[in-house]
Amino acid sequence: MNELAHPHSTFQLLNQKIMKATKVLIALFTALLFILPTACAQDMSMEKDRKHTISADGTIEKPENPYYSNTDKTKLDVANSEWEKVLPEDVYAIGREANTERAFTGKYWNAAGLGTYYCAVCGNLLFRSDAKFASMCGWPSFFEQEDPESITFHDDNAYGMKRIETKCGRCDSHLGHIFDDGPEPTGKRYCINSIVLDFVPDDPNKKAW
């Protein structure tokens, strides 16, 4: 009844609501115009950093990193200033500056697929999945390296702790640490950062990383 009694004011009210809604939509649209290109640009730069593929023979190709090879065993002596140009930021921070990824955040701490783990910096073969075990420490853990040359050990007394650092035997990048609380047959626990690992599944139809 009220609406019928005041048709003009009802129309004005509706008109005001439409105007208000239109203004909100325009504001949202304008905001999207600014936000979307920034978000896309970030996605694209991440994509560029991680542009690598598995070729038919099961090896990883990283066109942006000329030192990367899953088959070449030649020891590398490359300056950090050069690594900084060819590595994604997070791989550089851990591999070349010995940072540590936060526990339970890496992509492989609870991965159980069959396959091979390589150094994400240089492509060196480090572990087979059958040497991986569920340690629940928050980082991928292995009890045995694939070959005696693939990983080297170094005293690490940083942060007031006596630990043994593990480094890639080919490129000398920091991988993590090794402890004596692993399972048999070795009793060792290689505690490795996911970020410096590349995984190639035995089954090529499974997701690589």
User: Annotated active-site positions, please?
Assistant: 191
R_g over Cα of the chain: 26
As a dihedral over the C-alpha atoms of residue 13, residue 16, residue 22, residue 25, rounded to 10 degrees, the angle is -80
Q: Which stretch binds Zn ion (CB under 5 A): 35-43, 48-56, 123-131, 184-192?
A: 123-131
**By CB under 5 A, is residue 171 in contact with Zn ion?**
yes
CB of 103 to Zn ion, least distance (A): 23
CB of 139 to Zn ion, least distance (A): 17
- Decide whether 122 or 131 has the Cβ nearer to Zn ion: 122
Are the C-beta atoms of 117 and 102 separated by less than 8 Å?
Answer: no
Q: Which stretch binds Zn ion (CB under 5 A): 37-45, 108-116, 164-172, 197-205?
A: 164-172
Nearest-angstrom CA–CA distance, 57 and 203: 12
What 3-state DSSP class applies to 186?
Answer: coil
Burial class (CB in 10 A: 0-12, 13-18, 19+), 85: exposed
**By CB under 5 A, is residue 70 in contact with Zn ion?**
no
CB of 130 to Zn ion, least distance (A): 21
**By CB under 5 A, is residue 195 in contact with Zn ion?**
no
- Decide whether 67 or 109 has the Cβ nearer to Zn ion: 67
CB of 136 to Zn ion, least distance (A): 26
Among 168, 175, 191, 192, binds Zn ion (CB under 5 A): 168
Among 91, 93, 121, 125, binds Zn ion (CB under 5 A): 121
Q: Which two tokens stand for residue 53?
A: 């593929």
Contact pattern for Zn ion over residues 140 through 159, marking x by CB under 5 A: --------------------
Nearest-angstrom CA–CA distance, 24 and 26: 5
Nearest-angstrom CA–CA distance, 68 and 72: 9
**By CB under 5 A, is residue 119 in contact with Zn ion?**
yes
The closest alpha carbon to 167, from 104, 58, 76, 57, belongs to 76
Residues in the site for Zn ion, rule: CB under 5 A? 119, 121-122, 124, 168, 170-171, 173
